[in-house]
Chains A and B, each alone.
Chain A
């Protein structure tokens, strides 16, 4: 999958969790920039990605992602 495809799927997943339809994540998006994306929804989001792509993030990685781009690149590395 390309980064753009992952971003579209991430936006869809997070939009479903937050109950919004007009969410458009970019590689630079920070969690603090998305209203309602708190630690609880973050865990839900991470697990939703894990299920969707049949992968498992390391706990230390989950904490260390600074922006959406880092999640994308870690996922790309796991899918490679």
Chain B
């Protein structure tokens, strides 16, 4: 079931909120079981047969975790615990691998090694990448002693909780389960109003902004996939337009997920925090899909970097000294783990070469950014001077780098991504509506390509891009407006211009905010209708 569908907004959500209030009065267990039950309905809505995949996987992980806990009581059973954890991680990865990567690996093997595998087309169960990561994090936490006790229903809800089931945030057991246990029997009206407001803000971002610009972006990518020549103008419109589309799509989803959880009385971790305002790519990844970055850092980057650093020191090669950086140390202790982590991030997003290139691009960006930070600040008279110059320059470079990589994220194939990349570099000329070409007399310029579009169509597209850029780059985000009420776990306003604006216009249960939210909701509901899935639901 989609958050942005009539059945969800007008039937499922009101019934869940009402039913949950009744269940809470019956006690903690009834409330938890009720949430599990509605989450199963939510998940089964698309393909009921998927329950036969997700439910057994929950049982298997529960048994593994309970066994891990049992062995935690015995000293000297570390090997057994390590073995169980390894089995758990491998079985979860195989589970994900079968559904998500089997076809890709068969195709790659046929391409590279001339094998003759018949491609197995499997319909990907919704949210499997998110669910798998969450279960792995849970097993690691149990193994590390971070979780001492849990009940089956708590674990089941932790995996299935419908606001974050399909596309995150990827939550930790320790973040959510203590909150379950503190759910009171009475509805918190402030949290309900806060949650519904945040849901409406998210719905507006998705249905009006993301789906609105998608109409202008999709035809360009379709044309590139069909082998049509794309000009520099339209390649950049498509690249920036798609960056904004996925930005508002994911921002909208994240707001809606956090809002739904709040309405129920729970706070999710922050997952998206105005990443396009970032002034460097390291900061970008601290603001875009924050819980995925957190997961990959904890379970991929940290172990590799720790192992590498300890190994170098063990060999007497010296660790990494930022004041006197050595290239080999930089390469082995920073660049290699970073690049590998981002490559895996690319593969996690999709089983395809374009996603691997996207991950590799971001890996390279991060390595360059880290290297730059080691060298460049010393060349400026002070840290303040460095910041003063690098903030605007870094912002432009970060935005362009993210936009360029997004072409690979969105393109149908490596071929069309390459064509669009070349077009962005200007190899196909600059496209200008033919009417303007005729008016100004640009016919003789070889690099000007007349585009067969009306002026209205062209300027509408440009206006969409500019308007969404303004919203993304200058306005506060939904969490900032609601910051006084901690809409997501631990959220605090930072000291920047958009936070100051948000603090002055802070959300309140008041008439003006009721009117604002009503306008957002009505304009969004009028746009809901067709099946417009969230881009991150395919992962």
Contact = CB atoms under 8 A, between A and B. Distances in A.
19 contacts: A17-B322, A19-B322, A19-B323, A19-B377, A39-B297, A40-B305, A41-B322, A43-B305, A43-B306, A43-B309, A47-B306, A47-B309, A47-B319, A51-B313, A51-B319, A56-B310, A58-B144, A59-B306, A61-B144
Contacts of B144: 58, 60-61, 64
List the 9 closest pairs (A to B, CB-CB), nearest first: A60-B144, A63-B298, A43-B305, A47-B309, A39-B297, A59-B303, A40-B334, A38-B282, A64-B146
Nearest to B296: A39
Given A39-B297, A39-B302, A63-B299, A44 B146 contact: no
B486 interface: no
A40 to B, nearest CB: 6
Contact count band on A: 20 to 34
A7 interface: no
Contact of A43 (B141, B286, B302, B377): B302
A6 interface: no
B354 interface: no
B322 A44 contact: yes
B267 interface: no
Given A60-B144, A64-B144, A64-B146, A47 B299 contact: no
A4 interface: no
Interface of A: 16-20, 32, 36, 38-41, 43-44, 46-48, 50-51, 56, 58-64
A59 B307 CA distance: 9
B338 interface: yes
B481 interface: no
A40 B143 contact: no
Interface of B: 140-141, 143-146, 282, 286, 297-299, 301-303, 305-306, 309-310, 313, 319-320, 322-323, 333-334, 338, 370, 373, 377, 383
Contacts of A47: 306, 309-310, 313, 319
B371 to A, nearest CB: 11
A43 B306 CA distance: 6
B495 to A, nearest CB: 11
Given A38-B282, A43-B302, 10 more contacts: A19-B323, A36-B373, A39-B301, A43-B333, A47-B309, A47-B319, A48-B319, A62-B302, A64-B141, A64-B146
Contacts of B319: 44, 47-48, 51
Contacts of B301: 39
A50 B314 CA distance: 12
Contacts of B320: 44
Contacts of A44: 309, 319-320, 322
Nearest to B312: A47
Contact of B140 (A16, A43, A50, A60): A60
A36 to B, nearest CB: 8
A56 B314 CA distance: 13
Contacts of B302: 39, 43, 59, 62-63
Given A59-B306, A60-B146, A40 B338 contact: yes
A62 to B, nearest CB: 6
A38 B320 CA distance: 15
Contacts of A32: 286
Nearest to B303: A59
Contacts of A62: 302, 306
Contacts of B141: 60, 64
Nearest to A43: B305
A59 B297 CA distance: 12
Contacts of A51: 313, 319
A1 to B, nearest CB: 22
A47 B299 CA distance: 17
A72 B306 CA distance: 19
A78 to B, nearest CB: 14
A40 B367 CA distance: 11
A40 B146 contact: no
B313 to A, nearest CB: 7
Nearest to B366: A40
Nearest to B298: A63
A46 B306 contact: yes
A32 B290 CA distance: 12
A36 B309 CA distance: 19
B454 to A, nearest CB: 48
Contacts of A41: 322
A41 B145 CA distance: 26
A59 B333 CA distance: 16
Contacts of B146: 60, 64
Nearest to B370: A40
A22 to B, nearest CB: 11
A63 B224 CA distance: 43
A16 B305 CA distance: 19
A40 B338 CA distance: 9
Nearest to A42: B302
Contacts of A38: 282, 286
